[in-house]
Structure formats: C-alpha cells, structure tokens
C-alpha cells in the first residue's frame, strides 16, 4: 500500500506548480513510510510514498521505470494474481528486474493497454506515463477500495491518493456547500464529489487517457461496469450448489490475500464476516495473528467475547485491545487531523485504535468489510424486507408509530433504541422507495437537515442538492426490489463510507488492509444470486452463513447483529462535553461562520443533553467533525 501524486502541465513544457511535487509527496508519508521517490520529465512530475509489502527491495521502488525508459508508473495497491502473469511475461521473453507486482502490471499495460486491468485481481489506483507519446493513463480499481482525487483546469491536471497532497499545489479551490449538506446527512461525501467544488474523486472502474500534447476537456471513461442483478439470469442448479460455490470463492479470495513478504493478520470482531475470513486464513497460516477491540465498560458495544471464541477454536495468536475513553482522547487529534475532508462515521475512532495497535505486530491485515452490503446483513435491509413484505405487524406500526414518540429514544439503552427504531421504521414505511432509501442512509429527516443550515446558503444550493440526491436514488423506484438497494449501497455506503474508513484509518497507521469479500469474483457472484438466497423472513446473509456455519462456533449464530459502533453519547456527556459547549459548537463560532443556523444547533445540543437524545449524538458528531476540519482547512480556500 502506498501514496501517489502527480501533476501534468497541459499548456507548456513548464509549470510553476511542478515545484510543489516534493511537498505533495511528503504529505503522504504515513501512507508510505518506507521509501519515497519523484520522477520529473518536461511537463510532468510523479511522486510516490512506499509501504513495502511485496518485494521489499530497492529494485521495486517507485516511481518505477521499465528497462527501456519509456514508461514510468506510480501505483498504490496490490495485484494478488501477479505471479501467474509474471510467468507469462517471462515465457514471452520479457526481462524483469524485480519480483514486484508493480513491474508485472506495467509490462502488461505496455502490451495490452487498459485491457490489462481486466486480468487484475486486486485493488489499486495508478498512473502510467508514456514518455514517447507524452501520454498519461490513470485508473482506479473496480469497487473504489483505493482512493484517487483529481483536479483539472485549463493549464494543469493533478491527481493524488489524498486531498492533502492536492492542496499542496497553488490552486483556486472553493468549499462545496452542496457536499457539506450531503455530508451532514450521510456522515461522508459520495463520489465523484469532494469537500471542494473543483476537486473530484475518480469513480470505481474508471480511467483517464490524457494526450498532453493535445489535451482537450479531460473526461473519465469506464473500464469496468458491475452488472445490475436484475439484468442477470441466475444459473444455479440449486441453493446447495450455490452455497458450495460461495465457500470456494471465499477461500480462494482469502488465500490469495495472504500473499506478502511481511507479516499478515486478520481483524476479528466476532461477527460472521471477519470470523469466516479468520477461519479460512487459519487453513493457510499457522498461529495466525488476530486482533479485536473491546469496550469492557460498555457491554452494549462489546463483541470481544465472540472474537475470543473464534480465536480459541483456531488457536490464533489473539490480541484484544480495550478502547477506553482515555485512549480514544489520546488519539482524538490524530484521527480527526488525518482526515482531509469531513468524515463522521464514528466507528472510525475505534478502527483507528485497532489499526494503531495492530501495526505494532503485522504490516497487513485482512478485514470482513463488504459482507453486509453484498449479502443483506444490515438492520436496514431487514427493515426494507419487512416493508416490501408488509403484514399485520408492519401495518399496525405504519399507523401507530407516532404514539411511540412519547417514549425516550436513545442508542444507548435497549428500550430507548427499540423506540427509536420503531419510529424510524414507521416513518420509512410511509415514504416512497427512493425517499426511504435516502432517509435510512443517513441521520436526519429532510426538514430537520434543511433547517440546520443558513437559509440564504440553502436557497443558493437547493437545486444542486436535489440533483445529487436524485443521482444516488434514481435507480430505485416503486417497483424496485431489495436487490436494487443492495446494488446502490455498493456504490454509496460501501465505497464512500466503509472503504474510506478502512483506507484512511489504516494508512494513518501505515497498515495495509485487504478485503476478501470485494474480490470481483465474489461481488459478481453475489449479484447473480436470487434475493431469497440472501434474505428471507427469518434469515439475513443466508447463503454466507450456511456456507461457513461448520467453520464457526454456534454462539456466533444465536445472537442479533451488532454494529461496529462507539459510545458517542456517553463521551459527549463526559469527556467531549467541553468540545461541544466551548470549542467547536459554541454559539459565537456558529454565528460568525454563517453556515449553520444558530438556533437549530442550539436545539440539537439541548436534545443531546436531554433524557430523549434520539439520534442527536450522531448528528452533533457530524457537525463537530466538520468544525474540526474547518479550523485547519478553511484557510486553504480562496
């Protein structure tokens, strides 16, 4: 895993901004602390920070130029099946100077162009410069596991793994208020947008092909498109045969992701997904290293005992790290300070600590991310199933849910959380499919979200906001089944929330995280399954559970799903209270900033500290994270 950055002048053979390539490269140091390199030629400069995983020798350092000197590549990712293609290249007479996947991929591109990407099983963002043709090729992996931001104007094109590298250049950037409003609802900013108006994210499966001598408007194109499940005809002879294929694909994926020249482990939360990955990895690694986070003083959030059952069954070298309030506060500035655009998934706090402790023992960790989105694991999928198969109970809730509003609602108690869920379900069942999808993707009701912002600002950006919401929900209509929601979440929640969290928090600790469930063969297999192979009235993640059931302790299956959450409300009531009242959400700061409505924020703070907090902890957290980001970054905006 690494960090990449580059700049190409589009108008002349020189550009003042080229001189900033060193600072931009250095800003990515945590992504690659092992080595750094810069390549410059005429009107282009490429930078690379290296986290050495495969072929840790100097021969594999980047930017990587092949023997003829014509092609140079910067690459962030892993190419798991590279050994097979390395042998094919050698058999064709290609002379290789390293044992790296980087060199193999570069030579495949030299022979096949962009079509070589179809053969890659892995994740990546990359750039390849052809000196003879003065041509720049840039691409991102199928599902957006690795990030790539870009900026373009009439004189230059800039790209990087993270925004912090792009802002090292002298640019005219503006705050994107529509992105801010969207972020406040979702807790993240969906691609292709960023927190800046004129900086973009390259979307999954896309590439740029830029002729620097004759550059017109720069436009991305698709090299990979995931087929929608409604367009796929299922070809399984039986549920049993599909279950066997599921296990076979997952084992192949896990085994391939153990390829490394440095120590490898797994994250083990105690849930089905990470436990399955751990069980299968144990078949190929003796005394596998496994890691989990515990909340010993918050049993509602603690899954560590289930992780320990799996660790014991497979005799792993298991380590449990306790996340205390003191430890979280110790890392607080490191966590929020590393995020170069607002990102408020609060589980990132725990994930950062997990990565921070894990990197002391291994350099690579496998995670269970992706299983819930592919196989209908989240509570919202169960709720959507109930809406689409409504019976007596659902219809009673549909008409009586307002009565539950007299009860206290809170994520921090069993009964308070039940009341909150019933109200959320009752409101959702009365919405259209697309409106419900958007509502359940975030934390705010539409009127509450809009009321949170300065009225003039909101009026100016309301049309653009509606356009972006439509972009995320247009594939979901009143005839859409649950499979359409799962498909939409691959490109909304999975790409922009789960993968961003995994990438940024691991890279902040110079740790590589690999995701076996996002092997493209598994994702494509999941899309081809009938929906009742995934979820029915009694089961979720049905085919996944049935495929791994014999591998895992029975205790894992006899409990309700528990999300990877942190006790925000408790922290706000104690350790973080001063940040809300005095620092980041004080009335004077909110008023002077002119972004949020002061009275609306006051009401939200009052609700947070009441006996009926509802979702206010998560809502306050999104504002606090933005305010933290704004203090450090608004000065970069012209």
Task: Show contacts of 379-382: CB within 8 Å, 24+ apart.
Answer: 379/421, 379/561, 379/563, 380/440, 381/482, 381/485, 381/486, 381/535, 381/540, 382/535, 382/540
Within this chain, do residues 630 and 607 fall inside the same structural domain, yes or no?
yes
As a whole number of angstroms, the distance between CA 593 and CA 453 comes to 11
Question: Torsion angle of alpha carbons 69, 71, 75, 77, nearest 10°?
Answer: -110
* Residue at a domain's end among 222, 248, 280: 222
CA distances from 517 to 256, 369, 476 (A): 12, 7, 24
Round the CA-based radius of gyration of the chain to a whole number and report it: 24
In degrees, rounded to 5, the angle at the alpha carbon of residue 160 between the alpha carbons of residues 154 and 164 is 100
Cβ atoms 443, 187 nearer than 8 A:
yes
Distance of alpha carbon 123 from alpha carbon 118, whole angstroms: 12
Instruction: Determine, yes or no, domain membership for 248.
Output: yes
Residue 18 contacts residue 9 (beta carbons within 8 Å): yes
Q: Is residue 310 part of a domain?
A: yes
Is residue 115 located within the same domain as residue 82? yes
CB 170 within 8 A of CB 636: no
Domain assignment present for 388: no
* Contact between residue 44 and residue 156 where contact means Cβ atoms under 8 Å apart: no
Domain boundary among 196, 222, 248: 222
pLDDT number for residue 336: 93
Q: Return d(Cα 164, Cα 231) in angstroms, integer.
A: 40
243 and 186 in a single domain? The answer is no
**What is residue 488's predicted lDDT score, i.e. its pLDDT?**
94
> Length of the chain in residues, anyone?
638
In-domain check, residue 618:
yes
What pTM value is reported for the model? 0.94
Q: Which among 24, 102, 107 has a CA at the least distance from the CA of 61?
A: 102
Provide the domain limits for residue 123.
2-222
Same domain, 72 and 156: yes
Examine residue 492 and state whether it is found in any structural domain, yes or no. Answer: no
Task: Give the domain CATH number at 248.
Answer: 3.40.50.620
Do 549 and 392 contact (CB within 8 A), yes or no? Answer: no
3-state per-residue secondary structure call for 30-67: HHCECEEEEEEECCEEEEEEECCCCCCCHHHCCCEECC
Q: How far apart are the C-alpha atoms of 291 and 318, rounded to whole Å?
A: 6
Distance separating alpha carbons of residues 488 and 37, to the nearest angstrom: 38
Asked if 122 and 241 sit in the same domain, the reply is: no
Q: Is residue 431 part of a domain?
A: no
pLDDT of residue 438: 95
Q: pLDDT averaged over consecutive 10-residue blocks of the chain (638 residues)?
A: 90 71 95 93 93 75 93 95 94 91 96 96 97 96 97 93 95 94 97 96 97 82 94 86 97 94 91 96 92 77 86 95 83 92 94 94 96 95 94 92 84 80 92 94 92 91 93 83 93 96 96 97 96 94 97 87 69 80 86 92 91 88 94 77
Q: Are residues 513 and 638 in the same domain?
A: no
Phi/psi at 221 (5° precision): -130, 165
Indicate if 611 and 505 belong to the same structural domain: no
CATH code, 196: 3.60.20.10
Instruction: Tell me 529's DSSP state.
Output: S
Question: What three-state secondary structure class fits 298?
Answer: coil
Token duo for residue 625: 């994270």
- The predicted pLDDT at position 13 comes to 46
Residues 271 and 175 in one domain: no
**Residue 16, token pair as written in the block:** 């003042």
Residue pair 409/607 in contact (Cβ under 8 Å)? The answer is no
Same-domain status, 28 and 96: yes
d(CA 297, CA 440): 29
Backbone angles phi, psi at 563, to 5 degrees: -75, 160
Q: What pLDDT is recorded for position 201?
A: 98
Number of structural domains in the chain:
3
Do 90 and 136 lie in a common domain? yes
Give the model confidence (pLDDT) of 286-322 as tens digits: 889 999 988 766 666 678 889 999 999 999 999 999 8
Classify residue 420: in a domain, yes or no: no
Strand partners, 98: none
User: 393 lies in a domain?
Assistant: no
Residue 217 pLDDT: 75
Between strands 44-50 and 199-201, the pairing is unpaired
Tell me, what's the pLDDT at 450? 92
Domain boundary residue, one of 163, 196, 222: 222
Same domain assignment for residues 127 and 6: yes
* Spatial separation of the C-alpha atoms in residues 595 and 376, rounded to whole Å: 37
pLDDT recorded at residue 496? 97
Same domain, 245 and 199: no
């Amino acid at each position: 895993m690494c960090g990449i950055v580059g700049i190409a002048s589009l108008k002349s053979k020189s550009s003042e901004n080229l001189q900033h390539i060193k600072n931009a490269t250095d800003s990515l140091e945590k992504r690659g602390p092992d080595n750094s390199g810069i390549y410059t030629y005429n009107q282009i400069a490429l930078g690379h920070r290296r986290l050495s995983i495969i072929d840790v020798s100097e021969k594999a350092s980047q930017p990587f130029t092949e023997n003829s000197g014509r092609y140079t590549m910067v690459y962030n990712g892993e190419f798991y099946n590279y050994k097979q293609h390395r042998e094919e290249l050698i058999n064709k007479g290609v002379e290789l100077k390293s044992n790296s996947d980087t060199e193999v991929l570069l030579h495949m591109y030299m022979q096949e162009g962009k079509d070589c990407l179809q053969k890659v099983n892995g994740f990546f963002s990359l750039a390849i410069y052809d000196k003879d043709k003065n041509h720049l090729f840039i691409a991102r992996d199928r599902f957006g596991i690795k990030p790539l931001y870009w900026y373009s104007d009439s004189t230059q094109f800039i790209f990087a793994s993270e925004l912090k590298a792009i802002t090292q250049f002298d640019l005219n950037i503006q705050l994107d208020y529509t992105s801010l409003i969207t972020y406040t609802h979702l807790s993240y900013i969906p691609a292709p947008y960023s927190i800046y108006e004129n900086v973009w994210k390259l979307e999954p499966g896309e590439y740029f092909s830029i002729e620097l001598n004759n550059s017109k408007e720069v436009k991305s194109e698709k090299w990979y498109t995931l087929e929608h499940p409604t367009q796929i005809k299922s070809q399984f002879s039986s549920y049993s045969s599909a279950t066997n294929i599921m296990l076979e694909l997952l084992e192949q994926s896990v085994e391939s992701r153990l390829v490394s020249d440095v120590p490898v482990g797994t994250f083990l939360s105690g849930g089905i997904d990470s436990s399955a990955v751990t069980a299968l990895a144990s078949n190929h690694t003796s005394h596998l290293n496994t890691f989990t986070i515990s909340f010993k003083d918050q049993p509602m959030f603690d899954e560590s005992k289930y992780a320990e059952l799996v660790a014991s069954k497979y005799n792993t070298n298991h380590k449990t790290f306790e996340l205390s309030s003191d430890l979280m506060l110790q890392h607080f500035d490191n966590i929020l300070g590393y995020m170069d655009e607002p990102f408020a998934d609060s589980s990132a706090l725990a994930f950062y600590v997990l990565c921070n402790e894990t990197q002391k023992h291994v350099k690579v960790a496998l995670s269970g991310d992706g299983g819930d989105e592919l196989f209908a694991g989240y509570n919202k999928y169960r709720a959507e199933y109930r809406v689409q198969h409504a019976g007596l109970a659902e219809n009673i809730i549909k008409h009586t849910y307002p009565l539950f509003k007299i009860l206290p609602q809170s994520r921090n108690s069993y009964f308070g959380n039940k009341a909150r869920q019933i109200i959320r379900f009752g409101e959702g069942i009365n919405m259209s499919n697309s409106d419900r999808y958007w509502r359940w993707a975030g934390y705010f009701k539409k009127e509450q979200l809009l009321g949170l912002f300065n009225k003039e600002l909101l009026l100016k950006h309301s049309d653009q906001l509606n356009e972006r919401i439509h972009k995320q929900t247009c594939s979901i209509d009143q005839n859409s089944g649950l499979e359409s929601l799962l498909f939409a979440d691959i490109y909304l929640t999975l790409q922009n929330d789960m993968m961003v969290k995994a990438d940024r928090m691991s890279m902040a600790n110079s740790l590589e995280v690999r995701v076996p469930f996002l092997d493209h063969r598994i994702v494509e297999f999941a899309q081809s399954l009938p929906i009742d192979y995934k979820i029915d009235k009694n089961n979720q993640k049905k085919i996944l559970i049935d495929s791994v059931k014999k591998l895992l302790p029975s205790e894992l299956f006899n409990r309700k799903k528990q999300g990877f959450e942190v006790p925000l409300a408790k922290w706000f009531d104690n350790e973080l209270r001063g940040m809300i009242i005095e620092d980041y959400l004080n009335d004077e700061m909110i008023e002077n900033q002119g972004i949020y409505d002061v009275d609306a924020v006051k009401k939200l703070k009052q609700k947070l500290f009441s006996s009926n907090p509802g979702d206010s902890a998560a809502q306050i957290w999104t504002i606090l994270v933005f305010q933290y980001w704004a203090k450090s970054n608004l000065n970069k905006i012209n």
